[in-house]
Amino acid sequence: MVKVSSMSPLKKLYSLRLVFRIAVFILCLYPALTRPEFSDIMTGWNFFRSFSMLHLLWALWVWDMLCQLFPLTKHIALGSRKHFPGTFVPAEKLPETEAGQANAGTYRAVLKKAAGRASRAALRVALIWCAGLIVLFFLYRFGLISRAHIFLICLLFYVCDLICVVIWCPFRVIMGNRCCTDCRIFNWDHLMMFSVFFPVPSFFTTSLLLLSIAVCALWEIRFFRHPERFFEKTNRSLRCENCSDRLCGGKRKVKVLH
């Protein structure tokens, strides 16, 4: 079966989510900068001492991460769900080489090469991100930024995360991936967001950081145990002609796989 469409439902949904995140950032910007008590939730066990809008944001973030840990909903991109076995559609066997190498050997060689290239690119992203976190740590340690600034930086990354999905992603320059669907680091998003919280330990920050580590750990374990699920050469569901997400915005015929 073939469908032709302009803007996919998921693209529209992610665009609305981007608008929502921008609104959250704007809503939090003024009180975070003018009310010192706004970021009190990021201190010790203050999470349990009073209620604020940040509790709602915390619950939303926890739900988002649970959706990455478990296939709780299909309203998230295939790029985020591709490590689950249910999204894997095995590619046909690769042809033999001119030297007569067996299909199985060729398959493993192609997969090993793709996994190695993607992991090296991911390591570059991790090193760049860690360097940024070190700078952030020293800025906070020397009093150049406050807890409120760190919270706003997290919110800014919250917005930028969907800018990368809906509009343009600078990590594609480093990773060399085609789009979000075949991105090696798609589920690093929450860890990259909440890693900025490490200078300010509290229940609010630590719970989010630990859960984001669990999401990333599951992703990495699945990658090293089942790399075939992460590449279009070995997973047919990641190929352009089989894409139903179309977060890139391209108009194309979409083949629905059964």
* Partners of residue 90 on adjacent β-strands: 235
3-state secondary structure 54-97: HHHHHHHHHHHHHHHHCCCCCCCCHHHHCCCHHHCCECCCCCCC
CA distance 11 to 244: 10
Digits of tens for pLDDT over the chain (258 positions)?
A: 444 457 788 999 999 999 999 999 999 999 999 998 999 999 999 999 989 999 999 999 999 999 999 877 678 899 999 999 988 998 876 544 444 444 556 777 888 888 999 999 999 999 999 999 999 999 999 999 999 999 999 999 999 999 999 998 999 888 888 888 989 999 999 999 999 999 999 999 999 999 999 999 999 999 999 999 999 888 999 998 888 888 886 554 444 444
| Type of residue numbered 78 | L
Query: Would 173 be classed as within a structural domain?
Result: yes
Nearest in space to 50 (alpha carbons), one of 34, 38, 36, 62: 38
Domain count, the chain: 1
Look at the pTM and tell me if it is higher than 0.85: yes
Any domain includes 97: no
Domain that holds residue 87: 2-92+103-255
Residue at 98 is within a domain: no
Q: How far is the C-alpha of 34 from the C-alpha of 57, rounded, in Å?
A: 19
| Cβ(6)–Cβ(251) below 8 Å | yes
Is 148 part of a structural domain of the chain?
yes
User: Considering the domain boundaries, does residue 55 fall inside one?
Assistant: yes
| In-domain check, residue 19 | yes
Which residues lie closer than 8 Å to 19 by C-beta, 6 or more apart? none
Within-domain flag for 14: yes
Q: What is the DSSP string of 186-246?
A: GGGHHHHHHGGGTTS-BHHHHHHHHHHHHHHHHHHHHHHH-GGGG-TTTBGGGSGGG-S--
Nearest Cα residue to 93 out of 110, 79, 78: 110
Cα 69 to Cα 61: distance, rounded to the nearest angstrom: 13
Structural domain includes residue 119:
yes
